[in-house]
Structure 1
Amino acid sequence: MAIVMRSKFSLIAFVVFYLVAGLMHFIQPGFYIQVIPKYLGDSSLLNQAAGIAEIAIAIAAVFKTTRTLAGYGTIAMLLVFVIPHVYFIQLGSCAGDFCIPSWVAWLRLLVIHPLLLYWAYAISKNKTKLL
């Protein structure tokens, strides 16, 4: 798996994934704002900050000189994102009209989230040249 995660394809997929994820915070802000607990502060501002962070991570991952920072920044960001993932589960796995089965929300948190953490770590070690 480490070989696959250090490939050029994995790196390109990472950049595209986080670029699209970041843009979605601005395209569909209502969804994200609903899953940010009020006790964290201004949900709109936090949503924008998350979108900017994901876009910045995607850009930083393009360059070998900033890729390690992008990987570790992603890990930090994903750890913070556990809070809205848990909150989403507490909301009954619903954000407005968008609902998923609770088991899917738990799968995202307990399986997919750790895989994303591993992917970010592997990207931080990826020495592939993109540009």
Structure 2
Amino acid sequence: MGPGYVVAGLLHFVVPELYAQIIPPVLPAPLALVYLSGVAEVAVGLGLLWPRTRQYAAWATIALLVAIFPANVYMATSAVVVTGMPGGGDPSAVVRWGRLPLQGVLILWAYWYTDPELATT
């Protein structure tokens, strides 16, 4: 789980315009929010790698997933055309809507790491 968040976070710096497209327009400074969420993803990813910080990083991961959920809802419900996707093309409706329940799965996965016994192994 940790390496996945590190990679995802680094991608925010490699292709920030991809992520900026799905920031809801009611939020200010989309590019700054992309960079901030990228830093947060790298931080939680690294925190998940070490037993000493794993439990805290898991709670932070849950908070991060809740914080970015509006972007996923916006992507699913708006007519925004997302450009710059790997493989090209705008994501299908299945992909857009599939990200919403995936957030729940990721939250449950992170919650599993909040178990003190699991966090120290």
Alignment equivalent of 2:37, drawn from 50, 69, 94: 50
Per the normalisation by structure 2, the TM-score is: 0.86
Give secondary structure in 2 for the equivalent of 1:39.
Answer: coil
Structure 1 residue runs without a partner (length 5+)? 1-13
The root-mean-square deviation of aligned C-alpha atoms, in Å, is: 1.6
| Whole-Å separation in 1 of the counterparts to 2:46 and 2:73 | 28
The equivalent residue for 1:115 is 105
Please identify which structure carries the higher helix content: 1
Shift of 1:100: 1.8
> Which one has more relative contact order, counting CA pairs under 8 Å at least 6 apart?
1
Per the normalisation by structure 1, the TM-score is: 0.80
What is the identity, as a one-letter code, of the residue corresponding to 1:117? I
Aligned length: 115
Counterparts of 1:1-131 in structure 2, within 5 Å, are: 14-92=1-79, 94-96=81-83, 98-110=89-101, 112-125=102-115, 126-127=118-119, 129=121
Shift of 1:128: 5.1
Identity of aligned residues (%): 31
What is the identity, as a one-letter code, of the residue corresponding to 1:107? G
| Whole-Å separation in 2 of the counterparts to 1:45 and 1:35 | 13
Give secondary structure in 1 for the equivalent of 2:114.
Answer: helix
What is the identity, as a one-letter code, of the residue corresponding to 2:107? L
- Provide closer, same or farther for how the CA distance between residues 117 and 124 of structure 1 changes in structure 2, counting only shifts above 3 A: same
